[in-house]
Amino acid sequence: MSEKYIIGIDSGTQSTRAILYDSQGRLIARGAAEHPRLLSPHQGWAEHGANDIWDALRAAVKDMFARFTGNIADIAGIGLSSQGACFLALDKEGEILCNPISWLDERWRMNIPDLGQITNDIADPLYKLFWPYYSKANWLKFNNPEAYGKAAKYLGISGYLGYKLTGGFYESISNSMGWPYDVINWKGFDGDAEIESMGMRRDQLAEPVFAGTVIGKITPEAAAATGLPEGCPVAIAARDKQCELLGAGAVKHGQAYITLGTLSGLDIVCEQYKPAPDFSYFTYLGAIPKLYNYESMANRGFLLVSWFRDNLGDGLKAAAKEAGISVEALLDREAEAIPAGSEGLVVLPDWSSSAAHPSGKGIYLGFDDRHKRGHMFRSLVEGIIIQIKLGSAKMADYLGLSINELYIGGGGSKSDFTAQVIADVFNVPVYRTKESENCSLGAAMCGAVGAGLYASLTKAMDGMGNNYDQFLPNKGNHDLYEALSDKVIQKLYPALENILKDLAELTTSKR
């Protein structure tokens, strides 16, 4: 009997990855395609180009097949994951009405004066107090009534790609952020109040299903456009971060995982539904039913590493090429030569506002003539990790959980330097997955369940699971990070909040 293969697709913020695994989770062929830069026609807006996501999927699949020497007929299934909290509106012909709105977009704040104070009988505080404001359909309703009137379907990225591949309208229940799903009972709402409060109608929504559910098969049109085998079953996977936890093997109550991608944050797995009363962390539905993932995030996270590379890494591309390594690896070398604490240079990595820091701006503090690019890079990474810890400590305390060990993954986890900073900041052992593309692996696990190769996601995780590298904390570095956090970093935003608010008002475009 020939080996069966599964494709895990991860459509993220900056790129799409299509990775082929065998049934034991061994990586066979990897393909990737970068997305064009996000569009920002107005300050605070963040959009993908209308065709960027679909074009990137096609390019990533083509790249993957160029590296695959096996038989395409042996591909048993496809698992489809994507970034969450994105929004597409389609007309009745299935055409995009306006550019896909990214999770990084901040125009939802314009809904607040239009909606006024929301009062309703919805039990879940997230739907009563936050989601109507956050709803991009409500933004469309008040600011683009022509597109709003033509909208036949609202989809996220994975739902849209699923539609393009199979012709069906489905979405993963775990991709719940910004959508009217009953996260207490893990289904669509029975009534219409929650849906209507978000500016949507029931007939405009995709059907929410569990990760690992087959949503259709590759159509002849999709096969011709992508090269994927016609008739191959497509299973919806979880949201990208929840797929990461699945791929990393962090799916048990109390386990914690840090993702180091465009969105960087810490997730804790918990059996209880206990959303933050102050919205200081986010609540997601896990890949495995009835397990919640609570996430404290560093807004933009390791997107700032890309920002640093692109804007402050002049001259490194040629040096990296000559050394046969990435620009990020060269920056790591510069940072590793500098002691913990970056010789007094600290960063508040709020390059955009957040719920905790609504007037947030990025801050470098403590420059003197010792500081060079390596100090700036090290302090940026330290600032991101310290911010993740500060948010997660409050979250863990509220949930009644302790972080005793950490799993890490995502593109930034390939860095030994970053992994060691995490161990030192948190003062716990850190386990880095050997396979850094945990989202694609988790998506492939969902695809393997959909293809019938495994009976459940837990069995797929056991059969396709990861191995790990271990990093142990340095107590002296930890003590220094604690002191910097307590005495400097946590005091920065409160001390400067009013100044930052004035700065934002002076430089922000008016509606």
| Whole-angstrom distance, CA of residue 172 vs CA of residue 183 | 12
Confidence (pLDDT) at 412 = 84
How do residues 169-214 score in pLDDT, each as one tens digit? 999 999 999 999 999 999 999 989 889 999 999 999 999 999 999 9
Among 241, 206, 218, CA closest to 89: 206
Long-range contact list for 318-323, CB < 8 A, 24+ apart?
none
**Domain shared by 210 and 95, yes or no:** yes
- What whole-number distance in Å separates Cα of residue 429 and Cα of residue 217? 43
pLDDT of amino acid 511? 45
Q: Are residues 63 and 87 in the same domain?
A: yes
The answer to whether the CB of 422 falls within 8 A of the CB of 406 is yes
* Number of residues in the chain: 511
CA 245 to mean position of chain CA atoms: 11
347 φ/ψ angles, rounded to the nearest 5 degrees: -130, 135
Which of 407 and 410 is assigned the larger pLDDT?
407
The reply to whether 199 and 54 lie within a common domain is yes
> 371 lies in a domain?
no
Beta bridge partners of 294: 268, 283
d(CA 446, CA 251): 14
Structure tokens at 363: 């801050």
pLDDT tens digits for range 98-152: 999 999 999 999 999 999 887 777 777 777 778 899 999 999 999 999 999 999 9
Range of the domain at 504: 246-294+340-366+380-429+452-511
pLDDT value, residue 179: 94
H/E/C letters for each residue in 411-465?
Answer: HHHHCHHHHHHHHHHHCCCEEEECCCCHHHHHHHHHHHHHCCCCCCHHHHHHHHC
Q: Write the pLDDT tens digit of every residue in 301-338.
A: 888 998 999 999 888 989 999 899 999 999 999 999 99
Decide if 333 is inside a domain.
Answer: no
- Asked whether residue 46 falls in the same domain as residue 123, the answer is yes
Q: How far apart are CA 444 and CA 287, in angstroms?
A: 12
Percentage, residues of the chain above pLDDT 70 = 98
Q: What is the predicted pLDDT for the residue at 414? A: 87
pTM of the model: 0.85
Share the mean pLDDT of the chain.
Answer: 93
200 within a domain of the structure (yes/no): yes
Question: Do 261 and 141 fall into the same domain?
Answer: no
Q: What's the one-letter identity of residue 255?
A: Q
Regarding whether 259 and 171 lie in a shared domain, the answer is no
What are the distances in angstroms from CA 108 to CA 137, 278, 456? 9, 18, 38
Q: Is 386 a domain residue?
A: yes
**Secondary structure of 97-115 in HEC code, one letter for each residue:** CCCCECCCCCHHHHHHHHH
pLDDT at 299 over 90: no
CATH of the domain at 146: 3.30.420.40
By three-state DSSP, how is residue 492 classified? helix
Measured between its terminal Cα atoms, the distance across the chain in Å is 63
Q: Based on the fold, state whether residues 199 and 250 are members of the same structural domain.
A: no
| Same domain (yes/no): 86, 175 | yes
pLDDT bracket for residue 225 (50, 70, 90): very high
- Domain presence at residue 133: yes
pLDDT tens-digit readout, 267-287 = 999 999 999 877 788 899 999
Beta carbons within 10 angstroms of residue 322's beta carbon: 8
One domain for residues 155 and 290: no
| pLDDT, tens digit (0-9, with 9 covering 90-100), for 339-357 | 999 999 999 999 887 767 8
Same structural domain for residues 166 and 205?
Answer: yes
Q: Are residues 143 and 36 in the same domain?
A: yes
Residues 231 and 251 grouped into a single domain: no
Domain termination site, one of 216, 237, 258: 237
Judge whether 367 and 346 are in contact, CB under 8 Å: no
What pLDDT is stored for residue 87 in this prediction? 98
Q: What is the average per-residue pLDDT within 380-384? A: 96
Is residue 305 assigned to a domain?
no
Q: Is 362 helix (H, G, I), strand (E, B) or coil?
A: strand
pLDDT in tens, 19-40: 999 999 999 999 999 999 999 9
Kindly report the number of other CB atoms within 10 A of residue 371's CB atom. Answer: 18
The pLDDT value recorded for residue 509 is 59
Q: CA-CA distance, 116 to 388, in Å (whole number)? A: 32
Domain count for the chain, please give it: 2
> Could you say which DSSP state residue 192 is in?
S
